[in-house]
Chains A and B, each alone.
Chain A
Amino acid sequence: MDLKTLTYLVVGATFALYIGIAIWSRAATTGEFYVAGKGVHPIANGMATGADWMSAASFLSMAGLIAFLGYGGSVYLMGWTGGYVLLAMLLAPYLRKYGKFTVPEFIGDRYYSSAARVVAVVCLIFISFVYVAGQMRGVGIVFSRFMEVSIETGLVVGMGIVFIYAVLGGMKGITYTQVAQYVVLITAYIVPAVFISFQLTGNPIPPLGLGSTVAGTDQYLLERLNQIVTDLGFAAYTEGGKSTIDIFAITAALMVGTAGLPHVIVRFFTVPSVRDARSSAGWALLFIALLYLCAPAVGAMARYNLTSTVQTGPVGAAESNLVYADRPEWMQRWEQTGLLKFQDKNGDGRIQYYNDARMDPARAQQLGWQGNELTVDRDILVLANPEIARLPNWVIALVAAGGIAAALSTAAGLLLVISSAISHDLMKSTFARGITERQELLAGRIAAGVAILIAGYLGYNPPGFVAEVVAFAFGLAASSLFPAIMMGIFSVRVNREGAIAGMLSGLIFTLGYIIYFKGIFIEPLAKNVAENWLFGISPEGIGFVGMILNFVVAIAVSRATAAPPQEVQDLVAFIRSPRGAQAAMEH
């Protein structure tokens, strides 16, 4: 069977599965629509959280980023997992005890203020739309590459599927679909990783393969990789490119941002008890770690395979460079997409792939090299990996289905928090208090439908800055939502004035810093280089400073103003003690 037919079959089968689950688990009440009736088993919730969390960025882009950044890619590995420790210990159990439906609802109740609630809704909607646009784009790309349809067709199919199960099923439908999507995406990630690790090192377990010797030699993989890439003028794979303070700040911003992302937090509203919320965070991290422990191996091995395909022997000997006409089939296929490019600068018919900015010019001249001739888009590595390793077609079809599952599951989770923020926080609780539960449910479904259309539009016609701002969704979550929620639990004294002042200063500072260097809507005001940065922290890591600012301002302003009213102090006492979580869902 050819690859295209096989891909259609595998992807079609997964779609049928998702829709079947949606019909079986459709939501009938607002409780089911927002929080799946709070009846999700902690292990199922852990899997759903894994799929919710691991987006097109984790599945498609992360290993490619690590491959090209080496040690520098660690910020994503630590940042996107370490946040679960914060979530498990500082937020999840208490928010479950609180027992209502949404993150802005908690902020509004704890700070006894509709203004605080609306600020939280604005942060939530902004963060989620930025994020969802990237997911829809990911769906379109996977479709166009593997199913040979246009990006638009891919987008429309993806939107249709999400529409069916998110609008019909609400949180309940999404939860059980995400469980299925987790299984699809983790299988699709691990199977090729196991094959490649085994081929390259003889060890089938990828995280161990990374520390093994290259098959047939007694040299360690990482040692050999360091040697090859430094010979070609690149930085050593296991050493860093960025400054220590920047790596520190980016890791911190990603960790705290992860813990502050509303679509992740809300998953912990769906389990039956406080005890389950704690264990479910552990299950979620375990399911996430299965991918995150393979990713560094996939990245290093892809870099090794790519480099040694082009540079087949020691640097310097002419016959060590791949003859362009003899290039493997996968290179030809990706050249057609424009994501892989070759330009024969010295006219020798061979590919020279090296870092022309760092290699000694005298040496390059002596070799007759006139500049790097190969450019590779790092996003293609995970998709191309099975082809590079010559794996069977069914593995490639599986990877396509996995990429789509990763993007759809995250998109659905985001669309649901957007729709519940609109129907529950803005309408039912603030601007249209009189509506009945049925009307609220209908409003939620309409809001989800409209959000899908906007997401599709953003995916089809991405504003130039979408790719730039996705990482900043984390910065904004870190500097606005996380500190407000955490202080709401761990401090009795932080009050309405403090929380609003803190959220706004964190948000405005972070957004301002990003716009200053990256120029969203306007031209950047300063060049985005380390010399200009505050404390040497890049815009990617500035959310960490924004978070500290939020804490400091909130505490200072709260000290200068009156303590929260007694019923709010009682609420804090209530959420700190696990007993009574089941009863809490009645009110």
Chain B
Amino acid sequence: MEGADTEARSRAYWRANVRTVLFCLAIWFVASYGAGILLVEPLNAIQIGGFPLGFWFAQQGSILVFLVLIAFYAWRMNRLDREYDVHEP
């Protein structure tokens, strides 16, 4: 029954992978399309230091969020690889 086991495990691994990606892409969307585009006007009413907040997200904040997301994704996937025993030697 080892084959069926492996199959169930790789299916679970793939589901966990897709969940991680969806979680990251939701934040990706909110930081750029949300804060930087759709909500830019209401957010611009908030001033942080010299930046209107919406403008800051559009020109700097979204890029910083993207960086954190990729770092989180790489860390999380490496953990999942080991958890489901599909990691590279």
Residues of A participating in the B interface, judged by any CB pair closer than 8 Å? 66, 71, 73-74, 77-78, 81-82, 84-85, 88-90, 93, 207, 210-213, 220-223, 238-240, 244, 247-248, 251-252, 273-275, 278-279, 281-282, 285-286, 289, 292-293, 296, 490, 573, 576-582
The interface residues of chain A lying within 8 Å CB-to-CB of B81 are 275, 578-579
Q: Which residue in B10, B18, B55, B67 is a CB contact (below 8 Å) of A238?
A: B55
Tell me if A238 and B44 are in contact (CB < 8 A).
Answer: yes
Q: Which residues in A have their C-beta under 8 angstroms from that of B21?
A: 89-90
User: Which residue of B25, B37, B77, B81 has the most chain A CB atoms within 10 A of its CB atom?
Assistant: B37
A286 near B86 (CB under 8 angstroms)?
no
Task: Write the chain A residue with the least CB distance to B33.
Answer: A248
Partner of B36, one of A78, A278, A289: A78
- Closest chain A residue to B59, Cβ basis: A296
Residue-wise, chain B 27-60 has the 8 Å CB interface mask toward A (1 for contact) of 0100011001110100010001111100110111
The proximity string for B residues 57-89 relative to A, scoring 1 for CB distances below 8 Å and 0 otherwise, is: 011101110110111011001100100001111
Residues of A within 8 A of B62 (CB): 77-78, 81-82
Q: Are A244 and B78 in contact (CB under 8 A)?
A: no
A578 to B80, CA, bound (A): 11
Residue of B nearest to A207 (CB): B60
- Chain B residues numbered 10-29 whose CB sits less than 8 Å from any CB in chain A: 10, 13-14, 17-18, 21, 24-25, 28
Are A211 and B87 interface neighbours, CB within 8 A? Answer: no
Known: A275-B81, A576-B10. A88 touches B87 (CB 8 A): no
CB pair A223–B50 under 8 Å, yes or no, is: yes
Q: Are B50 and A211 in contact (CB under 8 A)?
A: yes
8 contacts between A and B (CB under 8 A): A74-B55, A88-B74, A90-B21, A210-B59, A223-B50, A244-B38, A275-B87, A296-B60
Interface size for chain B: under 10, 10 to 19, 20 to 34, or 35 or more residues? 35 or more
Q: Are B50 and A85 in contact (CB under 8 A)?
A: no
Q: Which residue of B lies closest to A299 (CB)?
A: B59
- B89: which A residues are within 8 A, CB to CB? 579, 582
B86 partner residues in chain A, CB cutoff 8 A: 577-579
Decide if B51 touches A222 in the complex (CB within 8 Å).
Answer: yes
Decide if B40 touches A85 in the complex (CB within 8 Å). no
CB-CB nearest 3 A-B residue pairs:
A220-B50, A74-B58, A211-B50
Question: Which B positions have Cβ atoms within 8 angstroms of A?
Answer: 10, 13-14, 17-18, 21, 24-25, 28, 32-33, 36-38, 40, 44, 48-52, 55-56, 58-60, 62-64, 66-67, 69-71, 73-74, 77-78, 81, 86-89
Contact of B32 among A78, A88, A579, A582 (CB under 8 A): A78
When C-beta atoms are compared, the residue in chain A nearest to B41 turns out to be: A239
The smallest beta-carbon distance between A79 and chain B, in angstroms, is 9
Q: Are B37 and A292 in contact (CB under 8 A)?
A: no
CB distance from A193 to the nearest CB of B (A): 14
> B37 and A238: CB pair below 8 A?
no
**B14 — nearest CB in chain A belongs to which residue?**
A576
Contacts of B88 in A (CB 8 A): 273-275, 578-582
- On chain B, the residues within 8 Å of A210 by CB distance are 50-51, 59-60
Q: Is B63 within 8 A of A211, CB to CB?
A: no
Partner of B40, one of A66, A221, A240, A490: A240
* Residues of A contacting B56 in the complex (Cβ-Cβ under 8 angstroms): 211
* Chain A residue contacts of B64, Cβ below 8 A: 289, 293
Contacts of B48 in A (CB 8 A): 211
Residues of chain B contacted by A252 (CB below 8 angstroms): 33
Cα–Cα, bound, A328→B18 (Å): 58
Task: Tell me if B69 and A71 are in contact (CB < 8 A).
Answer: no
Given the complex, which residues of B lie within 8 Å of A74, measured CB to CB? Answer: 36-37, 55, 58-59
Alpha-carbon separation in the docked complex, A347 to B81 (Å): 73
- A238 near B52 with CB under 8 A, answer yes
**B59 touching A278, Cβ below 8 Å:** no
Given A278-B77, A573-B10, A576-B14, residue A81 in contact with residue B51 (CB < 8 A): no
Find the A residue at minimum CB distance from B48. A211
B63 with A88: CB separation less than 8 A: no
CB pair B73–A278 under 8 Å, yes or no, is yes
Query: Complex: how many Å from CA A327 to CA B63?
Result: 38
Inter-chain CA distance A223–B70, complex, in Å, is: 33
Given A78-B36, A244-B37, A278 and B55 contact (CB-CB distance below 8 Å): no
Q: Known contacts A220-B50, A275-B78, A285-B67; is A78 also within 8 Å of B58 by CB? A: yes
A531 to B50, CA, bound (A): 36
Q: Is the CB of A292 within 8 A of B52?
A: no
Identify the closest chain A residue to B21 (Cβ).
A89
Q: Is the beta-carbon distance between B50 and A212 smaller than 8 angstroms?
A: yes
Is A289 touching B25 in the complex (CB atoms < 8 A)?
Answer: no
Residue of B nearest to A292 (CB): B63
Chain B residues with CB under 8 A of A580: 88
CB distance from A570 to the nearest CB of B (A): 12
Kindly provide the distance from the CB of B87 to the nearest chain A CB, expressed in whole angstroms.
Answer: 6
Nearest CB in chain B to that of A66: its residue: B59
B52 x A577 contact (CB < 8 A): no
Q: Is the CB–CB distance between A577 and B70 below 8 Å? A: no
Q: Nearest-CB distance from A480 to chain B (Å)?
A: 21
Which chain B residues border A296 with CB–CB below 8 Å?
Answer: 59-60
By the criterion CB–CB under 8 Å, are B66 and A84 in contact?
yes
Residues of chain A within 8 A (CB-CB) of B17 are 576
CA gap between A210 and B49 in the complex, in Å: 10
Q: Which of A81, A239, A490 contacts B63 (CB 8 A)?
A: A81
Q: Is the pair B78, A89 in contact by a Cβ cutoff of 8 Å?
A: no
Across-interface contacts of B25 in A (CB, < 8 A): 85, 89
